[in-house]
Structure 1
Amino acid sequence: MDITIIGAGAIGGTIGAHMVRAGHGVLLVDADTDHVRAINDGGLRIEGPVEEFTVQVDAVTPDELAARVSAGGIGAAVIAVKSLHTASAAALLPDLLTADGFVLTTQNGLTADTLSAAVGAERVVSSFINVGADYLEPGRILQGNVAAFRIGELAGGPITPRVGLLADSMPYALPTDNVLGYLWGKEAYGAMLWAGAVSDLTIADSLSLPRYRDLMIAVAQEAIDQSPVRVESFDGFEPDDLPGSLDRLAAFNRRSAKARSGIWRDLMIRKRKTEVDEVHKDIQGPVFDRIVTMIHDIEEGRRTCEARNLDELADFVAARS
């Protein structure tokens, strides 16, 4: 298939590179001009323990997209930007999508409402992806593992032709009739990652150390309790067995070359604003609210990522119980 991927970082770049190698037509769009230039000059490089390869693929900035789209328009697009940039990415598409064109979101959080407002709910397909990847530098992406990837219609129900086409075309993807259940599962797992990111621990250590187990269970349960659908299991996460999930998810993450979350990298490596405010729209509760405040403190220089932040959160949960 021919597809336009808006956001060529960790996830968008990984998906796009695999699709190019499989013979699909891909146009990458990214706001980082250095990344775009590096891709056009030397290709997009996927590195890490899964496999290493380079693909030659066209890349443009958002300002250049309209000029590069053929007269027929865009039939399929992927939104793979950070969730706080969803609206600006979606604004590129209304005038460029074909009459039967559609958009797939591979983002963290529940961003479908923003996309639906821009292009119409009937044009939006959603997905859950747990593949671990990191942007390393212009033209280079680390793929740390192979993990669950599910694609489905927002309303659930039977697998549609477009969902089947996407699942057949994208790496590791499978169709699902309950994509929202997977997304809410990731909200719960993600809540634990947000907690761990305020420390300097690896994902596996923050999930496995006894000192933090009650904290991790409490914040994951806050997310599960707010889900309007049946929460799905993946990669060791079981919504009905959070204590066991911690052990399984820790083991899963120890097998990955991606030792720390993208949240931690945003805070400590890339020094940029995280997606926490977008996620906070989905999850509210005393524990996650406290984590959000702590993330803001780190973003604004009042704290740094260290274990005593996790200790403070653990003490807060212990005092509540």
Structure 2
Amino acid sequence: MKVCILGAGALGCAIGATLSEAGHETWLLNRNAGHVQAINDHGLKVLDERGERAVKIRASTHADLIGAVDLVVVLVKSFHTAQAIAGAQALVGPDTLVLSLQNGLGQEDILAEAVGRDKVLAGKTYVGGVLLAPGVIRAGVAGKHTYIGELDGSLSDRVQAIADAFNGAGLATTVSENIVGTMWDKLLVNVATGALTGITRLTYGQLYSEPLLKAVSLAAVAEAIAVATAAGVQLSLTNPGAAWNLAAEGLPAAFKTSMLQSLEKGSVTEIDFINGSVVRWGQRHGVPTPVNETLVACIKGIERAMTDHHQQEEAKS
């Protein structure tokens, strides 16, 4: 199978390396020229439970150099989805499938507009990765599950073929007949802690010792559950406390959510695709979401302050 990871940051590299080592023609597409150059010059250096090794894998900054592939795995930040797929049309041939493994909800609609809904698959992954340096990652693949499926919930041969390829490479993958429900389950976990840590700048150890913040989290998740229920989504997580507990499962006290990490780097967040998705679906189905609306507004305010500060600093220089 010829695969391209669109948005090959730490997570994309972790998945790409696993597929490449299993013999699949795997490409990493990333805008960072230094990252791509390091991979092409020295291989992708992977640190994981097996130790440290250099994985031979192809990397590029341009989709035109890769050409049409069998599968595009989309792992760009949610707010870059439209721009990324627009610049990667060379990857998409008549039989290409496009699989989003991104956080949140809504990217599948953006991808469908760009390539056609019949080509789009959705999924969620619990594989982890940390970028240590250009061309160097720490990966967490063993024991981490991935779920993929057709948007309409059908069990198709094409999804099963991808799952078989992933499982054969060591990526524990399950085909879901309820991928929208699976996506919502993951969304509930992100809703539980992401915005709260971004606003407060707290690590998990700090967050989970503050009862007032737990109460806000449970209220936000309860709203999301109510929205999903009104939309007819079948959830596995139906108790706000379960999402709160699951969010911290197996993670150290020093853990920082991706939303907090984005803000610490001075980057905008994926809030529109997480709590913002709850608000949009709530409006669509007539369910009030005041807690999530407040969390979105607070994160947007922080992003605005960040942008204004950057502009002021640039004006001084």
TM tier, shorter chain? 0.7 to 0.9
Residue from 97, 100, 105 that aligns with 2:95 = 100
Residue 6 of structure 1: how far off its partner (Å): 0.8
Residue 50 of structure 1: how far off its partner (Å): 7.2
Residue 216 of structure 1 aligns to a residue in which SS?
helix
Equivalent residue number for residue 195 of structure 2: 194
Note if contact 2:147-2:179 (Cα within 8 Å) is conserved in structure 1: yes
1:240–1:281 Cα change, 3 Å: closer
- Write the letter of the residue equivalent to 1:243: G
- Write the letter of the residue equivalent to 2:37: R
Equivalent residue number for residue 286 of structure 1: 290
Deviation per CA, 1:178-219: give whole Å up to 9, x if none: 111011112211112222232333235424643322111111
TM-score (normalizing by structure 2): 0.82
1:224–1:26 Cα change, 3 Å: same
Residue 46 of structure 1: how far off its partner (Å): 2.7
Equivalent residue number for residue 47 of structure 2: 47
Note if contact 2:108-2:120 (Cα within 8 Å) is conserved in structure 1: yes
Percent of aligned pairs sharing the same letter: 31
Does the alignment pair 1:263 with 2:259? yes
TM-score (normalizing by structure 1): 0.81
Deviation per CA, 1:59-102: give whole Å up to 9, x if none: 111xx221332xxx322211110011111121134454221211
For residues 59 and 150 of structure 1, what CA distance do their matches in structure 2 show? 25
Note if contact 1:44-1:55 (Cα within 8 Å) is conserved in structure 2: yes
Note if contact 2:8-2:30 (Cα within 8 Å) is conserved in structure 1: yes
Residue 15 of structure 1 aligns to a residue in which SS?
helix
Deviation per CA, 1:14-58: give whole Å up to 9, x if none: 110111112211011001111111111222223355754331111
Residue from 251, 254, 258 that aligns with 1:253 = 251
Equivalent residue number for residue 85 of structure 1: 80
Deviates more, 1:170-179 or 1:130-139: 130-139
For residues 13 and 83 of structure 1, what CA distance do their matches in structure 2 show? 17
For residues 158 and 208 of structure 2, what CA distance do their matches in structure 1 show? 37
Residue 143 of structure 1 aligns to a residue in which SS?
strand
1:221–1:49 Cα change, 3 Å: farther
Does the alignment pair 1:162 with 2:158? yes
Residue from 286, 295, 299 that aligns with 2:299 = 295
Note if contact 1:213-1:243 (Cα within 8 Å) is conserved in structure 2: no
Residue 224 of structure 1: how far off its partner (Å): 1.9
1:144–1:3 Cα change, 3 Å: closer
For residues 275 and 85 of structure 1, what CA distance do their matches in structure 2 show? 10
**Matched ranges for 1:162-181 at <5 A:** 162-170=158-166, 171-181=171-181
Equivalent residue number for residue 7 of structure 1: 7
Residue 229 of structure 1: how far off its partner (Å): 4.1
For residues 191 and 119 of structure 1, what CA distance do their matches in structure 2 show? 29
Greater helix content: 2
- Write the letter of the residue equivalent to 1:230: V
Tell me the matched-pair count. Answer: 289
